[in-house]
Structure 1
Amino acid sequence: MSKIEIKNLHFSYTENEEILKGINLVIDNRSTAIIGQNGAGKTTFVKLIKGLLKPTKGEILLNGKNIAEMTVAQLAKHIGMVFQNPNDQIFKKTVLDEVMFGPINIGMSKAEAKKKAEKALALVGMEDKISVNPYDLGLSERKLISIAAIVAMDTEVIIFDEPTIAQDYAGKEAIKKIVRDLRAQGKIVMTIIHDMDFVAEAFERAIVFAKGDVLLDGDTREVFSHKEILEMAYLEQPNVTKLCNELGYDEIFLTAEEFINYKENLAIV
């Protein structure tokens, strides 16, 4: 089972301003959402995990190995990241070539890369688009293609940067299924995200960043129960949670389905 250990992690872009202030975490196989306002340190944190930045102090261990000792190219075989804007990631002329590029780039044969690409495209529901130019697709579909391109690399860790941007209900449902499928495969799935409703619906663990430190960390339901602490990080509870609180319920409901099931069970009793 893979894990990422973050030990006393500090990072500064300049001497006068510390962005991360001694983070200590263990990222395990629970699907994990990193949440917090802009400037909280979330993006810097995942860039450090991806090896795009180097810590000022402290270390990040992937399965016991310090990633500072690995090149970005070596890390690419272990950690994949889906960019917020798919246009920053896509550049090939066909969907299949786009999704095959990553696997080939980390050393897979063309035959293996094609097999992985077709499987990944099936996972995101885009298997019928293999010959299409990605830029003939809408933004929502290009986002799914960019996800497939990383999934096809079959890395141990997959990080999503704002996965629900530009997604309609169907797109969000597809991404939710992808997160769960990857989790079921034993992969570490992480996201940095501002969509609290999606966090409540799709992620098992939430970590709240504020001013370069961890303010809350735990089971998603537990984290969203701390309304006052969330407000300190300028975050709100999911909409269903807020509504049920306003209606006078003490229980923490994360989704409408949970609340409906609760009411139906009361009616049966």
Structure 2
Amino acid sequence: MTDLLLDKVSFSYPDGTKALEDFSLSVRTGERVAIVGQNGAGKTTAVKLMNGLLKPTSGTVLVGDWDTRRYSTAQVSKKVGYVFQNPDDQIFHNDVESEVRFGPKNMKFDVKRVDELTRWAMDICGIAGFAEENPYNLPYSERKFVTIASVLAMDSDIIILDEPTAGQDKIGLKILGHLLDTLEQKGKTVITITHDMEFVTDYFQRIIVMATRQLVADDQANKIFYDAEILEKSMLKPPAVAQMAKMLDFPDGILSKQQLINAILQQRTGH
């Protein structure tokens, strides 16, 4: 399996625009990490550096013992799979199964493994029934799962999900939750960019907060969302449960509905 390290990384576009400055992050194999922050904070640049789509202007990005500057994007993508925010930027086959099958087939896996990975990825993403459908005939939420399955089928050690909850209903969120649990059981590392703070608190313990192209905080959710200074600097709003708990003057750290209910019951009964 593969650890990930960004060491004092900066990135500037050819026109001189700075997108990331002196950014350092270490992610251990098997971790779930959520990266949050306002648009323009540098989140997407950071993850594109992780999978080799971008090369650092300065600093070092290591995927295991690979320095990404020494390897092609195609090579790095075998270790770090990246699901784009917009599925239409990723889909290019005329049926769902071909889209999902392309990655493992292109990686030269044997036929049996390609079949197994394709079926597994489609099943876990809830799209097995759409195998012969043109992806563009599916609603946005299902197209999102097509692109997730196409990356999962490559069996990469590290999976990056860019705004996975966008366009998802309760069923889609449940599938995502099960998917994250399964990937953790398989020892995969999952890194997510998201603006969905409820999704963050439900499924991620480690939160990376970014603002103005830099890392602002790296801590657990129950600390991040109760730190006024961090929230102000990053212009983040805590999840609704945390906001309500704050209004009711409950102790810091409440993030789930059940924790809030327990606090209310405790207040009423005095126990």
TM-score range normalised by the length of the shorter chain: over 0.9
SS in 1 for 2:7: strand
Q: Quote the offset at 1:228 in angstroms.
A: 2.8
Partner of 1:6: 6
Provide the TM-score with structure 2 as the length reference: 0.93
Task: Say if 2:101 and 2:150, in contact at 8 Å, map to a contact too.
Answer: yes
Q: Secondary structure at the match of 1:9?
A: strand
Residue 16 of structure 1: how far off its partner (Å): 5.0
Alpha-carbon separation, structure 1, partners of 2:130 and 2:233:
45
Structure-1 separation of matches of 2:40 and 2:220 = 24
Residue aligned with 1:115, SS: helix
- For 2:122, the equivalent position in structure 1 comes to 121
State how far apart, in whole Å, the 2-side matches of 1:268 and 1:104 are.
Answer: 61
Q: Residues 64-94 of structure 1: CA distance to partner in whole angstroms, max 9, x if unpaired?
A: 2212111111112111011111111112222
Percent of aligned pairs sharing the same letter: 38
d(CA) in 2 for partners of 1:18 and 1:136? Answer: 39
Q: Per-residue displacement from partner, 1:133-178 (whole Å, max 9, x unpaired)?
A: 2222211111111111111110001000111111112111211221
Structure 2: 5+ residue stretches without partners: none
User: C-alpha displacement at 1:17, in angstroms?
Assistant: 4.1
Distance 2:228 2:192 in 1: 21
Aligned position for 1:46: 47
Structure 1 unaligned runs (5+)?
A: none
**Mapping of residues 191-206 of structure 1, within 5 Å:** 191-206=192-207
Structure 2 matches for 1:76-91, cutoff 5 A?
A: 76-91=77-92
In 2, Cα distance between equivalents of 1:265 and 1:68: 55
Cα distance between partner residues in 2 of 1:149 and 1:261: 41
Give the structure 1 partner of residue 249 of structure 2: 248
1:158 aligns with 2:159: yes
Pair 135,17 (structure 1): closer, same or farther in 2 beyond 3 Å = closer
- Name the amino acid aligned to 2:58: K
Name the counterpart of 1:59: 60
For 1:17 and 1:148, locate their aligned partners in 2 and report how far apart those are by CA, in whole Å.
Answer: 34
Aligned AA (2:73): V
Does the residue aligned with 2:13 lie in a helix, a strand or coil? strand
For residues 146-225 of structure 1, what are the structure 2 equivalents within 5 Å? 146-225=147-226
The separation in 1 between residues aligned to 2:260 and 2:2, in whole angstroms, is 34
Structure 2 CA distance for aligned equivalents of residues 103 and 139 of structure 1: 24
The one-letter code of the counterpart of 1:106 is: M
Q: Separation in 2 of the partners of 1:154 and 1:63?
A: 16
Report what 1:21 is aligned to. 21
Deviations, residues 84-106 of structure 1 (Å, cap 9, x unaligned): 11111112222111110111112
